[in-house]
Structure 1
Amino acid sequence: MPDQYKKKKKGPKPRGVSNRNKGIQWIRKNAKSGVLYFADDDNTYDLQLFDEIRYTKRVSMFPVGLITKLGVSSPIVKNGIFSGFYDGWMAGRKFPVDMAGFAISVKFLLKRPKALMPFKPGFEEDGFLKSLEPFEPQDIELLASNCTKILVWHTQTKKNEPSQALDFAKYNNTNLVMLKQILV
């Protein structure tokens, strides 16, 4: 972490950005194909996730089970089509997703030399995904059975309240109904 952020006394710090940007630099110098995925030490993975992300052509996304009030961060899928995002912290982000909820084709990344993760706490994922332009939310490749399975969990060792109930008036007939059943 650059000193200017280490020395910051108040508020959140941009954690893991330097390491991820160094990884992106390494990929640019050493890889021609494959998939970039930002795995983390506080996540738990179903091995099926790695089987699925290997076929990513541009940017794939999938649900992440979370220890938060909503219980999951996911693209919303209605009738097999992306229709928005479901995340406990939308914050005006174009891509309100968890770091563990997307993968990028190396070939796609290499065609975007300006793509980097910003040092902006809470907006790391959003800033990185926006830097992949031209790329829009409707271009997402939906994995995990059209985002109905949780193959990665952002786990923490702390007690939390149960997942918030789903607003069926708003989210009926979407993948969120199936995801919430998993989160009982």
Structure 2
Amino acid sequence: MRIIPPLYIITPTYRRPEQIAELTRLAQTLMHVQNVHWLVIEDAKEKTPHVTELLSRTGISFEHLLAPMPESYKLRKGSKPRGVSNRNRGLEWLRENATSGVFYFADDDNTYDIKIFEEMRSTEKVSMWPVGLCTKTGLSTPILKNGSFSGFFDGWIAGRKFPVDMAGFAVSVKFLLERPRAAMPYKPGFEEDGFLKSLAPFEPKQIEFKAQNCTKILVWHTQTRKNEPALAIDTAKYGNTNLIMLRQQIV
């Protein structure tokens, strides 16, 4: 009987109007994936009850963790390193609890073909593939010429050694455990590059290319449109109706 290596899916999230909708969409995808353990990590000081309830009824093996962004970064002006504390908390959990398998940073606002999860499962070190709808180029991917690596294609290279999207790579747990200092930096725009460089010794020529040698798009950086917080319900008018319960589920 073939043993299916475990997949650890690390999803940073935070409370917002779209949170439950996006986690629901991702949950419906992961429900079709075998031997998966979902690490849902909130940028919050307390767990959101609706997130806990959603995770509990999916039937997916999961951890619901907390990792608030450090206050020093919240107070900074301009771009903030969103999701970094969450992802580093996920790495910490893996070091404490996992010994084999593959992990993947799956943001809740992306769209995934279930094929990508089976593609990444065989990762021995670091695997990569194309991501659609990413930056002004519409695409982020390693470039292969005659089947061999020749660089990266991305709308924002910025001198990065690994100019790739967060959704475009997976890493072997064993490979991570051999690098106890590997972590994601609190540097907006350079999170992926910094993390992949922290896996040294590791060079682009060692990348394992998936999605039919990077010729298929199996994940898209869709980014749901942001919604304004919902208006309050007039309790005098609707106090004895279903609207009260429904409003409690909306941010």
Secondary structure of the residue that 1:94 maps to in structure 2? coil
User: Equivalent residue for 2:152?
Assistant: 85
**Residue type matched to 1:152 in 2?**
V
| C-alpha contact 1:42 1:156 (8 A) present in aligned 2 | yes
- Cα RMSD (Å): 0.9
Q: What's the CA shift string for 1:49-102, capped at 9, x where partnerless?
A: 001100000000000002431010000011111110000010000000000000
User: Equivalent residue for 1:42?
Assistant: 109
User: Equivalent residue for 1:7?
Assistant: 75
Moved over 3 A (4+): none
1:156 shift after superposition: 2.4
User: Equivalent residue for 2:63?
Assistant: none
- TM-score where L is the length of structure 1: 0.84
Q: What's the CA shift string for 1:114-145, capped at 9, x where partnerless?
A: 10000000000000000000000111000000
Alignment of 1:123-162 (within 5 A): 123-157=190-224
Alignment of 1:35-74 (within 5 A): 35-74=102-141
Name the count of aligned residue pairs: 157
Larger radius of gyration: 2
| C-alpha contact 2:109 2:224 (8 A) present in aligned 1 | no
**Residue type matched to 1:23 in 2?**
G
User: Equivalent residue for 1:112?
Assistant: 179
Give unmatched runs, 5+ long, in structure 2. 1-68, 226-251
Secondary structure of the residue that 2:132 maps to in structure 1? strand
| C-alpha contact 2:211 2:218 (8 A) present in aligned 1 | yes
Seq. identity, %: 74
Distance 1:33 1:54 in 2: 11
Secondary structure of the residue that 1:50 maps to in structure 2? helix
**Which one of 20, 25, 33 corresponds to residue 100 of structure 2?**
33
Secondary structure of the residue that 1:135 maps to in structure 2? coil
